[in-house]
Each structure stands twice: as structure tokens, then as C-alpha cells.
């Protein structure tokens, strides 16, 4: 008998992700007003240093109102310190410009090719290397992925295609389908990996059409999320993770260690616990790429090692992320 309390398998429809993307806050003054800190507007840098503010409203809703040290706010709010020149902080800190094999394809590591699929993101993270990368010229999705598909099809050493960016999930599902259709004959490619911050900052992106595409792929599927702090992972993110897992994806997370945001053992412990509750395993904890304008986020290696030692003492081994740094020219991410 069907009762009035029938457990609902039908969930509330998701907001349209393209609309949410268009609605992102781009005015730092509005961002500060929304989190109850209008007085901080006077302390914003006059210029955005060429890297505009961009934050989805759903992400802002997870910030603590009235807290200038909120770990989510600090990731997206421009600071005067971005204008500091710090020695060793440059425009192409990880040597990406030397590794471009075809339009938008980076082939630095054996068996894995990384496609710079998109030039933009749903959020602009102030610590990001993307601040200075000349993406407009290097997009794999240009010309219907033609050059990338040719390259991937010819190089039979490539087992895994990594979609990165920018953020590949700002592309339409149609566009993603063009790529995976194009790879149909390349039987040496057995795995697709997506690196994206959208499941966290814009979880409605993981909609039915996307999940249908993902689950139908004749490939192993890995989605690497990017969350830096447990407060980022609310119920909407947890639900997006469940949809990704239902579509057959293995879920991992990478974080960047950021001074003032997540450089404390409690926050990192809670992040790992919260990720696991969402069905996600911690993968990498990155030392910051030394990109101009980000030195105020840097955590010294000795302190970073100490933090990971505390995690190891507190958590099961599978919840301790690998602390790594990317070095130009290296054949893998370098453990610290």
C-alpha cells in the first residue's frame, strides 16, 4: 500500500547550473555585504591584479557571517598582500608553458595526458596558478578537440586522460561528449579523470545529463574534487558526491595548504573525516605553487610536514593526504 509518507525517490530538482554560474558574485563590495562585512571594502586592493572576483552564491552561503577570518571567504577575497612582490614567486611557477604538447595538452607524466579543457572556472581562487596562465591561447576544447584527439589517439602510451583547466566542468555536457566520442577508437585510453572544483562550489553542475554521460562512458572514471576546508562540504555537496558515485566515479580530493585557511591540524582532520562521509578519499595536500601574488598564503615546509604528522597520528592512514609539491621538470609530484 502506498502511504502518504512514501519515501521519496524523487529529489527536489536542482537549480539550473548555467544560471547559477551566471549569477556568481563578481563585485567584491557585494561579496562583503553578503557576509556582513561591508566595513572591509575600504581595505580591498584598488585593482584586482588582473584576476577578477568570482564566487557562486551557494558557496558564499556557507561562509560565516561577520567573520573576516572565515576560511572560505579568505580563499576568494582579494587582499592588499597580493600586490607584494616576493622573491621566487613567478608567473609560471610549475613550468606548464614548457610542457604544452599540442593545443591545450600537457604531457608531463608517463601514461597521463592533461587537457586544459577550459579557460575559466566557477570560482576564482586567489591562490591559484591560473592567475597568470595564458589560457585563452591553449584550450584543448578549441576546434572540437581536434588536435587533442589526434594527439591522444596516436600516442598509445597514454592510458589516462585528465580533464583540467581552468575547470572542465564549466563546459557543457555536449562539449564533453564531443571529446569522449572522439576518443572512441583510442582503445589504449582506459581511464578518464576529471579535476574540478564545481562539485564543491557549484554542486548543481552534477545534474542528470552530466551523470548520464559519465555513467555511459566505456572508461574507468575518477573525479578529483578540490576542497580545502570542511565548511565547504555542506549537504548539497554531499548529494552531488552521491550522484557522482552512482555514475560509477571513484572520488578523490586534493587540497592546497593555505596559511590562515586550513593550516591547522583540527581543520585538516575534520576535512578528511567530512570527505570520507561524502564518499571521497583525500588524495593530495599541495604545497602552494609559488605564483606571483600568493606569497601571503605560503606555509613553510617544516610546518606542513608537522601538520601531516599530526594527521597521521590522529587518522587512519587512508584519510591522510599525500603532501606534495609540483616542481618544474620533475617526472611526478614530489613528496615533501
Ligand X SMILES: *Cc1c(COP(=O)(O)O)cnc(C)c1O
Binding site for ligand SF4 (CB under 6 A): 121, 123-125, 128, 130, 165, 167, 197, 226
Write the secondary structure of the chain as one string of H (helix), E (strand) and C (coil).
CCCCCCCCCCCCCCCCHHHHHHCCECCHHHHHHHCCCHHHHHHCCCCCCCCCCCECHHHHCCCCCCCCCCCCHHHHCCCHHHHCCCCCCECCCCCHHHCEEECCEEEEECCEEEEECCCCCCCCCCCCHHHCCCHHHCCCCHHHHHHHHHHHHHCCCCCEEEEECCCHHHCCHHHHHHHHHHCCCCCCCCEEEEEECHHHHCHHHCCHHHHHHHHHCCCEEEEEEECCCHHHCCHHHHHHHHHHHHCCEEEEEEEECCCCCCCCHHHHHHHHHHHHHCCCEEEEEECCCCECCCHHHCCCHHHHHHHHHHHHHHCCHHHCCEEEECCCCCCCCEEC
Assigned C-alpha cell, 61: 552561503
| 34 binds ligand X, rule: CB under 6 A | no
* Residue (62 or 333) nearer to ligand X, CB: 333
304 binds, among ligand SF4, ligand X, none (CB under 5 to 8 A by kind): none
User: In angstroms, what is the minimal distance from the CB of 273 to ligand X?
Assistant: 23
62 binds, among ligand SF4, ligand X, none (CB under 5 to 8 A by kind): none
Stretch that binds ligand X, among 107-115, 141-149, 175-183, 296-304 (CB under 6 A): 107-115
User: In angstroms, what is the minimal distance from the CB of 19 to ligand X?
Assistant: 32
* Residue (20 or 254) nearer to ligand X, CB: 254
| 162 binds ligand X, rule: CB under 6 A | yes
- CA separation for the pair 14, 12 (Å, rounded): 6
139 neighbors 100 (Cβ within 8 angstroms): no
* Residue (40 or 324) nearer to ligand X, CB: 324
* Residue (106 or 170) nearer to ligand X, CB: 106
User: In angstroms, what is the minimal distance from the CB of 93 to ligand SF4?
Assistant: 13
User: In angstroms, what is the minimal distance from the CB of 57 to ligand X?
Assistant: 30
User: In angstroms, what is the minimal distance from the CB of 164 to ligand SF4?
Assistant: 8
User: In angstroms, what is the minimal distance from the CB of 143 to ligand X?
Assistant: 21
* Residue (109 or 213) nearer to ligand X, CB: 109
121 binds, among ligand X, ligand SF4, none (CB under 5 to 8 A by kind): ligand SF4
* Residue (199 or 230) nearer to ligand SF4, CB: 199
Near ligand X by CB under 6 A: residue from 112, 146, 159, 245: 112
| 109 binds ligand X, rule: CB under 6 A | yes
Which value, to the nearest 10 degrees, does the dihedral of the CA atoms of residues 183, 120, 246, 282 take?
A: 110
- CA separation for the pair 336, 287 (Å, rounded): 9
| 268 binds ligand X, rule: CB under 6 A | no
| 135 binds ligand X, rule: CB under 6 A | no
Residues 6+ apart with CB under 8 A from 60: 25, 31, 34, 35, 72
* Residue (132 or 146) nearer to ligand SF4, CB: 132
* Residue (123 or 308) nearer to ligand SF4, CB: 123
User: In angstroms, what is the minimal distance from the CB of 314 to ligand SF4?
Assistant: 27
Near ligand X by CB under 6 A: residue from 108, 126, 197, 229: 108
Would you tell me which residues interact with ligand X (CB under 6 A)? 106, 108-109, 112, 114, 162, 332-333
Amino acid at each position: 500500500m502506498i502511504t502518504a509518507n512514501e519515501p521519496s525517490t524523487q529529489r527536489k530538482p536542482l537549480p539550473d547550473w548555467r544560471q547559477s554560474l551566471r549569477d556568481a558574485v563578481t563585485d567584491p563590495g557585494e561579496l562583503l555585504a553578503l557576509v556582513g562585512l561591508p566595513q572591509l571594502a575600504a581595505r580591498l586592493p584598488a585593482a584586482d591584479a588582473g584576476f577578477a572576483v568570482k564566487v557562486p552564491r551557494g558557496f558564499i552561503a556557507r561562509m560565516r557571517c561577520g567573520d573576516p577570518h572565515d576560511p572560505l571567504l579568505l580563499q576568494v577575497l582579494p587582499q592588499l598582500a597580493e600586490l607584494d612582490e616576493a622573491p621566487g614567486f613567478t608567473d609560471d611557477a610549475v613550468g606548464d608553458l614548457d610542457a604544452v604538447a599540442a593545443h591545450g595538452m600537457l604531457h608531463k607524466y608517463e601514461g597521463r595526458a592533461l587537457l586544459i579543457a577550459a579557460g575559466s572556472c566557477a570560482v576564482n581562487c586567489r591562490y591559484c596558478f591560473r592567475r597568470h596562465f595564458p589560457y585563452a591561447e591553449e584550450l584543448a576544447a578549441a576546434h572540437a578537440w581536434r588536435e587533442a584527439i589526434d594527439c591522444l589517439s596516436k600516442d598509445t602510451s597514454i592510458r589516462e586522460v585528465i580533464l583540467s583547466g581552468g575547470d572542465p566542468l564549466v563546459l557543457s555536457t555536449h562539449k564533453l561528449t564531443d571529446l569522449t566520442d572522439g576518443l572512441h577508437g583510442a582503445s589504449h585510453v582506459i581511464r578518464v579523470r576529471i579535476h574540478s572544483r564545481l562539485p564543491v562550489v557549484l554542486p548543481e553542475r552534477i545534474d542528470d545529463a552530466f551523470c548520464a554521460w559519465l555513467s555511459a562512458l566505456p572508461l574507468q572514471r575518477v573525479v578529483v574534487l578540490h576542497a580545502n576546508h570542511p565548511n565547504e562540504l555542506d549537504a548539497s555537496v554531499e548529494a552531488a558526491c552521491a550522484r557522482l558515485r552512482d555514475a560509477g566515479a571513484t572520488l578523490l580530493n586534493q587540497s592546497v595548504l593555505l596559511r590562515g585557511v586550513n593550516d591547522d591540524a583540527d581543520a585538516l582532520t575534520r576535512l578528511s573525516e567530512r570527505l570520507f562521509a561524502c564518499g571521497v578519499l583525500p588524495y593530495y595536500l599541495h604545497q602552494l605553487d609559488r605564483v606571483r601574488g600568493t606569497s601571503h598564503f605560503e606555509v613553510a615546509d617544516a610546518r606542513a610536514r608537522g601538520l601531516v604528522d599530526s594527521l597521521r597520528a590522529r587518522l587512519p592512514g587512508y584519510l591522510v593526504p599525500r603532501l606534495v609539491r609540483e616542481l618544474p621538470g620533475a617526472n611526478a609530484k614530489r613528496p615533501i
